[in-house]
């Protein structure tokens, strides 16, 4: 029996749904029940009827699934699948930041630990960060964390001056600098440029970027664009689906080195092992689940 068949059989036996992020290896995406960005996958995790959720992504995504569906068994095929951005702030640091800004509302990017979410008023993803901030009264002070590039993008889009940013970044996206854009633009004159808001170039070269989008936003764009060439400024895993969706356009990574080693910890063999051995279970303290739930529910409703 092939590995793909084994995974399909085990999914059925275990009554499991396999959720895969857009940065996962193509072999994992191809056998997943749902593939998408953080917001889409969170919504799927909240609404699934399956008994088991296998999360092919990183730890904060599996924790999010557990918070939204605490009665389900949530499995992460490799416990080493972390996120450098989520590690940029601890719950203790957030408590100290809040104490320095009493009355401020905390908006946390979903790339955070469950404990940080439990200290937050709202969670958001790259898909809805602007609309969540816009929904808050203009005179409301905001603490936005942990990604400074996404935060700066939201601040510019909303024109808010009362939004404080935590100085954190994703080590994969931060390396995509204005110099990278200039070099790739010279190599591919006329190519459109589409960037994820976590990119290190997003602040300085924003006027040159044709679109700033979440990973699902990029896929929707990829499906319909008629541009002959498009430079994609995000993790390279997304190219797998883009190239399947549209064979007339050439999708070129802004940086071939933009590989998230955490996302690549999971392969099809580990998905099979996870389903076979029912490992590794994500368990969270009930008070953390209760504390984080409200902020996440606001995120999936927005």
Q: Which residues bind ligand 13P (CB under 6 A)?
A: 22, 37-38, 111, 125-126, 170, 198, 214-215
Q: Which of 18, 35, 58, 230 binds ligand SF4 (CB under 6 A)?
A: 58
Q: Which of 76, 89, 133, 170 binds ligand SF4 (CB under 6 A)?
A: 170
Is position 84 an interface residue for ligand SF4 (rule: CB under 6 A)? yes
Please report which helix (H) or strand (E) contains residue 184, including its range: helix 178-187
Rg (CA), the chain: 19
Is position 31 an interface residue for ligand SF4 (rule: CB under 6 A)? no
Please report which helix (H) or strand (E) contains residue 222, including its range: helix 215-224
Helix axis angle for 268-277 and 3-14, nearest 10°, is 30
> What is the Cα–Cα distance from 166 to 78, expressed in whole angstroms?
28
How many angstroms separate the first and last alpha carbons of the chain? 43
Q: Shortest CA distance to 250 belongs to which of 188, 177, 179?
A: 188
Stretch touching ligand SF4 by CB under 6 A, among 67-75, 166-174, 206-214, 289-297: 166-174
Q: In the window 255-284, what residues touch ligand SF4 (CB under 6 A)?
A: 260, 262-263
CB closer to ligand 13P out of 150 and 268: 150
Please report which helix (H) or strand (E) contains residue 215, including its range: helix 215-224
CB closer to ligand SF4 out of 54 and 104: 54
Least distance (Å) between residue 125 CB and ligand 13P: 4
**From ligand 13P, ligand SF4, none, which one binds at residue 59 (CB under 5 to 8 Å depending on kind)?**
none
Q: Which of 32, 35, 83, 218 binds ligand SF4 (CB under 6 A)?
A: 83
Strand partners, 144: 107, 165
């Amino acid at each position: 029996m092939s590995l793909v068949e084994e995974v399909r059989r085990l999914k059925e036996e275990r009554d499991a749904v396999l959720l895969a992020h857009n940065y996962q290896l193509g072999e994992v995406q191809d056998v997943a029940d749902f593939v998408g960005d953080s917001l889409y996958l969170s919504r799927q995790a909240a609404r699934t009827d399956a008994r088991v959720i296998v999360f092919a992504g990183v730890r904060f995504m599996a924790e999010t699934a557990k918070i939204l569906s605490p009665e389900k068994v949530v499995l992460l095929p490799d416990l080493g699948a972390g996120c450098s951005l989520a590690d940029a702030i601890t719950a203790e640091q957030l408590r100290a930041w809040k104490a320095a800004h009493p009355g401020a509302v905390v908006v946390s990017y979903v790339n955070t630990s469950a404990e940080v979410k439990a200290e937050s008023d709202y969670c958001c993803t790259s898909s809805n960060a602007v609309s969540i901030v816009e929904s808050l009264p203009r005179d409301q002070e905001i603490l936005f964390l942990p990604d400074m590039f996404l935060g700066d993008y939201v601040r510019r889009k909303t024109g808010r001056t009362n939004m404080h940013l935590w100085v954190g970044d994703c080590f994969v996206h931060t390396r995509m600098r204005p110099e990278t854009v200039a070099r790739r633009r010279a190599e591919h004159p006329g190519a459109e440029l589409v960037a994820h808001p976590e990119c290190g170039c997003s602040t300085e070269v924003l006027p040159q970027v044709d679109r700033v989008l979440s990973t699902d936003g990029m896929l929707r764009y990829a499906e319909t664009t008629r541009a002959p060439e498009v430079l994609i400024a995000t993790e390279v895993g997304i190219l797998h689906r883009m190239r399947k969706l549209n064979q007339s356009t050439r999708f070129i990574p802004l940086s071939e080195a933009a590989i998230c080693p955490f996302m690549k910890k999971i392969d099809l063999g580990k998905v099979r092992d996870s389903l076979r051995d029912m490992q590794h279970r994500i368990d969270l303290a009930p008070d953390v689940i209760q504390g984080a739930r409200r902020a996440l529910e606001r995120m999936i409703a927005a």
